[in-house]
Amino acid sequence: MFRLVCLFLLFLAGSIVPAAAGPAPADTLRVRQLDELCWALNQTKPDSAILCGQQALALARRIGYRRGIVYTLNDLGTVHFYIGDYAEALRFHLEALRTLRLPADRRFQGIAYNGLANVYTKKEDLAEARRYYQLALSTARTAADSALYRSNLGYSLLSTRQFDEAERQTRAALAIYQRLGSPVDEARCLGNLGSVLLEQQRWAAALPFIDQALARARALDNPALLGQFLGYRALVQQRTGNLAGALASLQPALTYSRQADDLESLREDYALLATVQEQLGHYREALHWHKRFHSAHDSLVGQEKTRTIAALSARYRAEQQQAHIHDLQARNLVIARQARTQRLLLGASAGLLLLALALAMLLYNRVRLKQQAVLALNQKNAEIARRDHDKEVLLREMHHRVKNNLQVVSSLLSLQARQLTDPGASNAIRDSKSRVEAMALLHQKLYQHEELRHIALPDYVTLLVNTVLGTFGFEASAVARIDVADVAADVEVALPLGLLLNELLTNACKYALPGQPAPSLEVRLEQLADGDLHLRVSDNGPGVPTAEDGAAPSFGRRLMGLLAQQLETTLRWSERPGGGTVTDARIPLSELTTAPSV
């Protein structure tokens, strides 16, 4: 019920405040359809193409469809280019550039640059044309775009007789079209390359490219290309003295050019036929073709005039249609304002009636959601507590089993030591047993207390000292003095610390305390001002042991070095005043945690 009320209120709000969403998919689709019609009709029915383009542009602007505005402006520029209305073509392409939002519209920028370059080429402003072709090439995002812009740039460079660069750009475009497998574009590019070589009077070099272009045009059955390329071949044959071959090429060239209604190619063919007939001494035929040439030339001039008239007519009709569209839009705006006023009155009256109900239901929904959230949170907390308890039980059982296994190992080492007669081997077994017991004590402390992740160092160190001294027959209460700070350590730190202390205590019991009338051992673990720990083990034995020259360090000494590296510390031995040995180590507290004793 609450959702229905909210939806109804949103509907009323939508009737009062216009939506800020983007253009509707149906509107953008309509823009694309109109623009596609504009492009499809641009060379056959320019009037209809301009009308479709104007409608697409008006709709795209009304709905804020920026990309639709850009490509419709470019297509309108192309339509006006084809009908010879170059001023309008420039205006549309420049407006497209101003509407672009880079870098997202980089490809549309290249299309606009290419359109401007085409216009300037027709206006014979070749410097500007070349500049815009180069700008288009710098924005190319696809191989096809790059090939098109390079081909057009090559044509522009040819017009200014920059033959080397024109040939380079045309060859680059040809390579791309061959890689893309575009036969029509490949044929045009081969013909353009032949044209570049013809302009340089490199007849022998041009002929292979012209023949390749002819082969592709025949495969495509394209009359316009066949007429153009046969004319190129006839020119080569005429310039190289093969007048009969030129006549043989020009006859089908005329047929294809008439079929394609290509007046430009026909005019060139008529001029070349007149020249060939004159060279053959057939002056009557030469005069005939000269007349045909002038007739084709006049037709081209008339065609240009017709295009100009058509452009003006199309512009006039487009302006009339645009004025009609503006009139319809104004009427629709008045109707929309009236409908908006009615929706405003309806929304205000209905809103006042439903406001109290909506607020009450909103409050109820919030209370209900809060209760559901609290219930879900309690269930989640209970599940987490259950899992933590299960993990704690499992971890405690693991420590208990590890301690039992270590005790079994210790017992096995004791049995083994009893069977040995070699004192050195027996001592090694006993040292290993002591190390195992140090680890067993750690796991025993862990499973006996509530805290499973940290171990209280005072209890652990005291128990370890008592155990090691007892193993060697010393009474800990009479021999040892223990002073340990109230610090709890992580298991990963407490274990190497216990093993290190075990080695130091074992060394003291083996080499320092025996033979002393009043053996004394002090173990101190204090926390310094900066938080680090200071471990000190001192005895009243004969002093710091010195290794014989060249002798390898003992296993115990190497083990203590490894344990010190694990604790990120260094062991320092010194003489105790009055006799004895002092061992110091400063242990960083980065892995330790101050906590209550467990």
Burial (Cβ within 10 Å: 0-12, 13-18, ≥19) of residue 256: buried
Residue 198 has pLDDT above 80, yes or no: yes
| Closest of 307, 325, 330, 328 to residue 56, by C-alpha | 325
**Amino acid 538: pLDDT:** 92
Determine the Cα–Cα distance for residues 196 and 157; give it in Å rounded to an integer.
Answer: 10
pLDDT at position 17 is: 39
pLDDT score, position 492: 78
Task: Please tell me the distance from the alpha carbon of residue 543 to that of residue 436, in angstroms, as a whole number.
Answer: 28
Ranking 207-221, 237-251, 287-301, 475-489 by mean pLDDT, the lowest is 287-301
For the ranges 142-146, 329-333, 523-527, the lowest mean pLDDT is seen at 329-333
- Using one digit for the tens of pLDDT, what is the confidence trace for 488-504? 878 778 888 888 888 88
Task: Specify the pLDDT at position 324.
Answer: 66
Residue (of 406, 439, 519, 504) closest to 473 by Cα position? 519
Res. 399: pLDDT tops 80 = no
Q: In the prediction, which pLDDT does 545 show?
A: 64
Nearest Cα residue to 469 out of 422, 416, 523, 417: 523
Residue 18, pLDDT above cutoff 50: no
Taking only the tens place, the pLDDT of each residue in 51-78 is: 888 898 899 889 888 888 888 888 888 8
Return the amino acid letter for 127. A
Q: What is the pLDDT of residue 21?
A: 53
pLDDT above 60 for 424: yes
* Rounded Cα distance, 116 and 122, in Å: 10
What's the whole-number mean pLDDT along residues 231-256? 88
What is the chain's percent helix, strand, coil content, to nearest 5?
A: 75, 5, 20
Nearest to 265 by CA among 170, 191, 159, 155: 191
For 200-211, the pLDDT digits (tens) are: 888 888 889 888
Domains by residue range for the chain, with CATH: 24-136 (1.25.40.10), 142-201 (1.25.40.10), 222-298 (1.25.40.10), 438-542+554-593 (3.30.565.10)
Q: What is the pLDDT of residue 585?
A: 92
Looking at residue 16, its pLDDT comes to 40
DSSP string, 160-226: TT-HHHHHHHHHHHHHHHHHHT-HHHHHHHHHHHHHHHHHTT-HHHHHHHHHHHHHHHHHHT-HHHH
The model's pLDDT over 271-283, given as tens digits with 9 standing for 90+, comes to 888 898 888 888 8
Give the gyration radius of the chain's Cα atoms: 49
Q: Which of 29-43, 412-426, 468-482, 528-542 has the lowest mean pLDDT?
A: 412-426
Q: For residue 397, list its beta bridge partners.
A: none
Distance of CA 338 to the CA centre of its chain: 49
As a whole number of angstroms, the longest Cα–Cα distance in the chain is: 147
**Distance between CA atoms of 212 and 103, rounded to whole angstroms?**
39
Judged against a pLDDT cut of 80, whether residue 447 lies above it is answered with: no
Task: Supply the mean pLDDT for the chain.
Answer: 79
Confidence band for 582, pLDDT divided at 50, 70 and 90: very high
Q: What local confidence, expressed as pLDDT, does residue 523 receive?
A: 93
Choose between 111 and 552: higher pLDDT.
111
